[in-house]
């Protein structure tokens, strides 16, 4: 059995210690669940947060499924910003991926990127409407 690790860092910004509006916390939780799904190797769980009509969705789907098929992934995220209202928010996350190829002599790659997302609340659920850069979640080219 392999051991996977997920690290989520809380933002260190003014007012971070005080209570957050529900929508801000819900969006943080959404992104934390994305990192958790990748660390667990669960592409379906990762992708269910995205609107399939999002520009680049098919590229993201192909990248994530290929990444998890070829490698074991360990995620760490730190929240940078989360701005907007109770319906639309813009998020920035400092995201680190450690990618270990599954092949016998597979190598390891570490990626770090500022990932930006747009989310929209429909009913009681937040949907990711945009994410950049999509290539961050593609399989490694070792």
Residue 135 vs residues 13, 63, 95, 114: alpha-carbon distances, Å: 28, 7, 13, 12
6-12+21-137: CATH topology: Nuclear Transport Factor 2; Chain: A, (3.10.450)
pLDDT tens, position by position, for the chain (142 residues)?
444 455 555 443 434 444 445 899 999 999 999 999 999 999 999 999 999 999 999 999 999 999 999 999 999 999 999 999 999 999 999 999 999 988 766 788 999 999 999 999 999 999 999 999 999 999 987 4
Domain boundaries, the chain: 6-12+21-137
């Amino acid at each position: 059995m392999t051991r996977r690790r997920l690290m989520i860092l809380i933002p260190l910004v003014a007012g971070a210690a005080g209570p957050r509006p529900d929508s801000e916390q819900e969006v943080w939780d959404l992104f934390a669940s994305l990192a958790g799904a990748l660390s667990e190797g669960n592409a379906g769980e990762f992708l269910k947060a995205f609107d399939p009509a999002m520009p680049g969705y098919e590229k993201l789907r192909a990248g994530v499924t290929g990444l998890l098929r070829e490698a074991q992934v360990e995620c760490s995220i730190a929240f940078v910003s989360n701005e907007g209202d109770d319906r639309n928010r813009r998020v920035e996350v400092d995201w680190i991926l450690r990618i270990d190829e599954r092949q016998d002599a597979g190598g390891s790659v570490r990626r770090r990127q500022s990932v930006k997302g747009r989310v929209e609340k429909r009913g009681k659920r937040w949907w990711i409407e945009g994410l950049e850069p999509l290539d961050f979640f593609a399989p490694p080219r070792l």
